[in-house]
């Protein structure tokens, strides 16, 4: 995603950008909806984490019944399907065409906006009203309210820290980690929402000619990618349980696969050697028994 959206505006080498335009013309209609599906999924996955923390901290008596593994899996599946369905129209906004280029004296692939992408009503309804509601107002209002409740709960618990159990302290640490994730999320996602609104409001000539708009779009795209990449780092920095589970899950599997690879031949040889010795011993014992019987 970084290569597709950011490099053309960062790299000033004309030869590189000319070569890259071939790949970019084919990548844009595919990578564009995939990136937006991932962005939608990231937004509502963060909302889901925040709801789980809110129930665990502010409604602890109901947490055992509400925050179950089965419901978490269903929530993730619903977020995935909802993200795909919401961004289906994005798949039909751009198309790749082959056109004659007089500058290079041969045909070159170019991507262009389809009739759907040019439709004024579609742009106003989808990009302004729906996008503002689904991608900004709903999730950001929920995140602001829930995190305000979580911060108040943490302040209250710190006043009575001496009476808190170790499990309650761990819950608070996890909540602090999530709040930091949400703050970074809000900072990184806001420019992208503003960019979508500007893309609809500004005229085409302003979009294509304004250097400030191009730079702002590049920065907003990079911040979205940075947000997706830095969540893992935040979990590792602030989440002791996350580090422990991650190490146990991946390192133990690596060790088991290494041990199996190293000792499987020897163990097979050992088993076959034991079987051979047992068989020989059985024949020897049987031979002695026959001799004693005949005597």
Residue 4 has pLDDT above 80, yes or no: no
Which pLDDT band holds residue 103 (cuts at 50, 70, 90)? low
Model confidence at 76, in pLDDT bands (50, 70, 90)? very high
**Nearest residue to 93 (alpha-carbon basis) of 110, 70, 111:** 111
The residue among 94 and 283 whose pLDDT is bigger is: 94
Supply the pLDDT for residue 75: 94
Mean pLDDT value across the chain: 73
Structure tokens at 266: 């020897």
Both tokens of 62, joined, read 């109901």
Residue 81 confidence (pLDDT):
97
For residue 83, pLDDT over 60 is answered with: yes
CB 4, CB 36: distance < 8 Å = no
pLDDT in tens, 249-274: 777 665 555 545 454 444 444 344 44
- For the residues 54-80, what does the mean pLDDT come to? 89
Q: What is the predicted pLDDT for the residue at 5? A: 54
pLDDT in tens, 137-186: 898 889 888 888 888 887 777 666 555 555 566 666 677 777 788 888 88
Average pLDDT over residues 191-203: 75
Q: Cα Rg for the chain, rounded, in angstroms?
A: 30
Six token digits for residue 270: 């050992």
**pTM for this one?**
0.66
Q: What whole-number distance in Å separates Cα of residue 224 and Cα of residue 214?
A: 16
pLDDT confidence tier of residue 203, bands split at 50, 70 and 90: low
Taking the C-alpha atoms of residue 130 and residue 136, their distance in angstroms, rounded to an integer, is: 9
Least confident residue range of 2-16, 132-146, 226-240, 258-272: 258-272
Q: How sure is the predictor about 84, in pLDDT bands with cuts at 50, 70 and 90?
A: very high
Fold classified for 2-237:
Rhopdopsin 7-helix transmembrane proteins (1.20.1070)
- pLDDT for 89: 92
């Amino acid at each position: 995603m970084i290569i597709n959206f950011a490099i053309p505006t960062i790299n000033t080498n004309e030869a590189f950008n000319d070569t890259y335009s071939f790949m970019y013309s084919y990548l844009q209609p595919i990578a564009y909806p995939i990136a937006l599906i991932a962005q939608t999924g990231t937004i509502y996955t963060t909302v889901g984490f925040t709801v789980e923390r809110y129930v665990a901290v502010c409604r602890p008596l109901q947490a055992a019944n509400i925050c179950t593994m089965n419901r978490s899996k269903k929530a993730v599946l619903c977020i995935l399907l909802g993200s795909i369905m919401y961004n289906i129209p994005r798949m039909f906004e751009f198309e790749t065409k082959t056109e004659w280029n007089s500058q290079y004296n041969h045909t070159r692939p170019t991507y262009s906006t389809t009739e759907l992408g040019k439709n004024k009503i579609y742009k106003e309804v989808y990009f302004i009203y729906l996008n503002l509601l689904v991608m900004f107002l709903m999730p950001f209002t929920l995140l602001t309210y829930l995190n305000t409740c979580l911060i108040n709960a943490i302040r209250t618990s710190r006043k009575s820290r001496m009476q808190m159990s170790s499990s309650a302290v761990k819950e608070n640490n996890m909540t602090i980690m999530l709040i930091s994730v949400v703050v970074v999320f809000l900072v990184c996602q806001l420019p992208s929402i503003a960019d979508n609104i500007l893309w609809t409001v500004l005229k085409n000539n302003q979009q294509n000619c304004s250097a400030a708009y191009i730079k702002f779009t590049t920065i907003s795209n990079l911040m979205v990618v940075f947000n997706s990449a830095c969540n893992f780092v935040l979990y590792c920095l602030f989440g002791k349980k996350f580090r422990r589970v991650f190490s146990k899950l991946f390192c133990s599997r690596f060790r088991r696969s290494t041990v199996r690879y190293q000792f499987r031949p020897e163990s097979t040889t050992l088993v076959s050697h034991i079987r051979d010795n047992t068989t020989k011993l059985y024949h020897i014992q049987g031979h002695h028994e026959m001799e004693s019987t005949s005597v």
